[in-house]
Amino acid sequence: MKAFLFVTDLDHTLVGNDKALVELSEILSQHRQEYGTKIVYSTGRSPLLYRELQVEQNLLQPDALVCSVGTEIYLNHSDTPDAEWSDILASGWNRELIFSVTQSFPELEPQPDSEQRPFKVSFFLKEEFADKILPQIETKLQKYGLNIKLIYSSGIDLDIVPHKSDKGQAMQFLRQKWKFAAEQTVVCGDSGNDIALFAVGNERGIIVGNARPELLKWHTEYPADYRYLAQDDCAGGILEGLKYFGFL
């Protein structure tokens, strides 16, 4: 057995199957102690909503926490986001302008204040409007010279983030910092904002059995032999995938 970099989404990926979560947490914690495996959570949640889930589910302390869809990286249990990463995202980013431009779309309902972050502007957008409205929003924002990316998840959540940022790029930033090969890295997810984790390179990928249609559709369009579609849900599917790739 060898150290690996374990990167997982939280809602409906690590969390959602209580029995399997207890089992997986024990195995990961031991692997970290014995081999130096690193554990990273990568969530769309703000630090505030992350802490709620951490307490509720008694989650292991991660070695790094990636919040707000890849736009904030917290290392060594720090309360301050990594400045090197923030600096990379800051150039050309203008959240006030994004807010004002998006006001002309009545279909967009702002998410709660806690989820509006320095490098993330978030709305609820009903699925029935998404196909039509998303390209229009993108075109309009680009007209203003805004270098952004739209990430739509779970048929409801729309995140607008800097172009250089998503869960995939944040994962690679950590992978390079800690010098893990792509083959010794595994990423796990269930929904739209996790596509970036699977798409950015050839890290091993585990799609949990309960994955959302948007991720399954993408996986069917871009299949890869370094990606595993699990049978079981959430942490159960992760365990299955870790065994499939020989990490356990």
Contacts with ligand GLC by CB under 6 A lie at: 44-45, 49, 69, 111, 115, 122, 153, 157, 159, 193
Query: Beta 148-153 vs 157-162: how paired, if at all?
Result: antiparallel
Q: For ligand GLC, which is the closer residue by CB, 34 or 128? A: 128
- Report how far residue 13's alpha carbon sits from residue 132's, in angstroms, rounded to the nearest whole number: 29
Structure tokens at 101: 């431009």
Q: Would you say 169 or 193 has its CB closer to ligand GLC?
A: 193
12 binds Mg ion (CB under 5 A): yes
Q: How far is the CB of 4 from ligand GLC (least distance, A)?
A: 25
Write the CA distances from 77 to 62, 100, 176, integer angstroms.
8, 35, 19
- Taking the complex as a whole, the smallest distance from the CB of residue 100 to ligand GLC amounts, in Å, to 20
68 φ/ψ sector (left φ>0, alpha ψ -120 to 50, else beta): left
**How far apart, in Å, are the Cα atoms of 229 and each of 37, 218, 241, 244?**
23, 12, 8, 10
Q: How far is the CB of 193 from Mg ion (least distance, A)?
A: 7
Q: Which residue is nearest to Mg ion (CB)?
A: 11
From ligand GLC, Mg ion, none, interface partner of 111 (C-beta below 5 to 8 A by class):
ligand GLC
Asked if 11 is part of the footprint of Mg ion (rule: CB under 5 A), the reply reads yes
With CB under 5 A as the rule, give the number of residues binding Mg ion: 6
190 interface partner picked from ligand GLC, Mg ion, none, CB below 5 to 8 A per type: Mg ion
Rounded to a whole number of angstroms, the minimum distance from the CB of residue 131 to ligand GLC is 18
166 binds, among Mg ion, ligand GLC, none (CB under 5 to 8 A by kind): none
Alpha-carbon distances of 45 from 9, 24, 101, 207, 232, rounded to whole Å: 10, 22, 24, 19, 24
CA angle 38, 227, 241 (to 5 degrees): 60
Q: How far apart are the first and last CA of the chain?
A: 7
Told to check if 82 binds Mg ion by CB under 5 A, we report no
Q: Which one of ligand GLC, Mg ion, none is in contact with 45 (Cβ closer than 5 to 8 A by kind)?
A: ligand GLC
Residue 72 lies near Mg ion (rule: CB under 5 A)? no
Distance CA 176, CA 193 (A): 21
Whether the Cβ atoms of residue 166 and residue 195 lie closer than 8 Å to each other: no
Nearer to Mg ion, 11 or 138 (CB): 11
* DSSP annotation of 78: -
CB 193 within 8 A of CB 153: yes
Of residues 176-195, those binding Mg ion (CB under 5 A): 190-191
Q: How far is the CB of 115 from ligand GLC (least distance, A)?
A: 4
The residue with its CB nearest to ligand GLC is: 44
Paired residues of 188 in beta bridges: 8, 206
Residues in the site for Mg ion, rule: CB under 5 A? 9, 11-13, 190-191
